[in-house]
Amino acid sequence: MNRRLGVSGGIAEIADRLTGRLASFGPRSFFVFGIVGGALVFSLAGGGFRTGDSYGWLSEHGNTVTAAALLGGGVLIGIGTRSAGGCTSGHGICGTALGSKASFVATMVFMATAIGAAFVLDGIA
């Protein structure tokens, strides 16, 4: 193994398996399966699935805008994850613990972007 552990690597591994590029599911796939399975067990133990009522200020713009924003955000996260060589959890938790210089830089960029976005969105809302 000896590589960063994160959700995006598991999702990529699952996609590779489903498209026939891998012969079997690997450890990263089972990491994602465990997250989904754990959430399912927790929801069932808690009496069923419940979601929040809204996405804050985004809900004021209707379902179409909300769906478009969520889809667009997901696409941007996917592009960023692939171009950065991993997701926030892979770089921020695992990569920095391994002392990866690239992970430290990626984590600083993630944090700076999140702080900047929070200030921008606070000004809009």
For the chain, 125 residues long, give each residue's pLDDT as a single digit of tens. Answer: 566 677 888 888 999 999 999 999 999 899 999 999 999 999 899 888 776 666 677 777 778 888 888 899 889 988 888 888 888 888 888 889 889 999 999 999 989 999 999 999 888 75
Q: Say how many domains are in the chain.
A: 2
State the alpha helices, DSSP H only, in 1-125: 7-18, 27-45, 63-84, 88-89, 96-97, 101-124
One domain, residues 35 and 79: no
Residue 78 belongs to domain spanning: 59-125
Cα–Cα distance measured from residue 81 to residue 79, given in angstroms and rounded to the nearest whole number: 5
Which pLDDT score is estimated for 89? Answer: 81
One domain, residues 9 and 67: no
One domain, residues 32 and 71: no
Q: What is the pTM of this model?
A: 0.63
One domain, residues 37 and 90: no
Which pLDDT score is estimated for 124? Answer: 75
